[in-house]
Amino acid sequence: MANTQSMCTSFMQQLMVGEHQLGTATLVSRTSLTAPTTDTLKAALYLTTATVNASTTAYSASNEVSGTGYTAGGVVVTNATAPTSTNASATAGVAFFTPSASITYTTVTLATAFDAVLIYNFTQSNKAISVHTFGSQTITAGTFTLTMPANTTSTALIRLATT
């Protein structure tokens, strides 16, 4: 068993049918014709013994970390930055998105090693977006902070690029 960093395959299909609203609300909501809403994203941590990867379709509590101060499902991801796109040429461009703040689990004790975070859409039935891995960690009466990569065309957390 191992966790693998990847965009979740189901997320790609769901983008095509407009199931996700990342960043600041720019589209009329699927549930309201007058008031745009932003989906709530959450971040859940997974044990090194878990298997979260491209085939993960939704958040699951199976093999999620547990411990003092940690609530199943993880924490809300600050989701205030609108996705951006830019063209590099007449045939190539990149759309990219990074949550606007670090993901922080404050005053937790997570005694069993974990090495992955699943970003998922809490508003849309916990549908999986992406998996990000890092070196194995434990936390003891402390804080675990995940800082996002810079929101650029080459390093943003989620990138969609033409070939």
Partner 1 sequence: MALVNTTKGEMDEALLEKKEGFVDNDNEYTTWVEYWLDGELVHRSAHVQLKKSVGLKIEAASFG
Q: Which residues bind partner 1 (CB under 8 A)?
A: 5-7, 12, 96, 107, 109, 130-135, 137-149, 154-163
Minimum CB distance to partner 1 smaller for 49 or for 137: 137
* Pairing of β 75-77 and β 41-47: antiparallel
- As measured in angstroms, the least distance from the Cβ of 4 to partner 1 is 10
Cβ–Cβ under 8 Å, residues 87 and 93: yes
- As measured in angstroms, the least distance from the Cβ of 83 to partner 1 is 13
- As measured in angstroms, the least distance from the Cβ of 7 to partner 1 is 4
| Torsion angle of C-alpha atoms 62, 63, 69, 75, degrees rounded to 10 | -70
Among 32, 29, 9, 7, residue whose Cα is nearest residue 18: 29
CA distance 92 to 159: 13
Minimum CB distance to partner 1 smaller for 5 or for 40: 5
- As measured in angstroms, the least distance from the Cβ of 102 to partner 1 is 8
Cβ–Cβ under 8 Å, residues 97 and 61: no
Minimum CB distance to partner 1 smaller for 29 or for 132: 132
Minimum CB distance to partner 1 smaller for 24 or for 140: 140
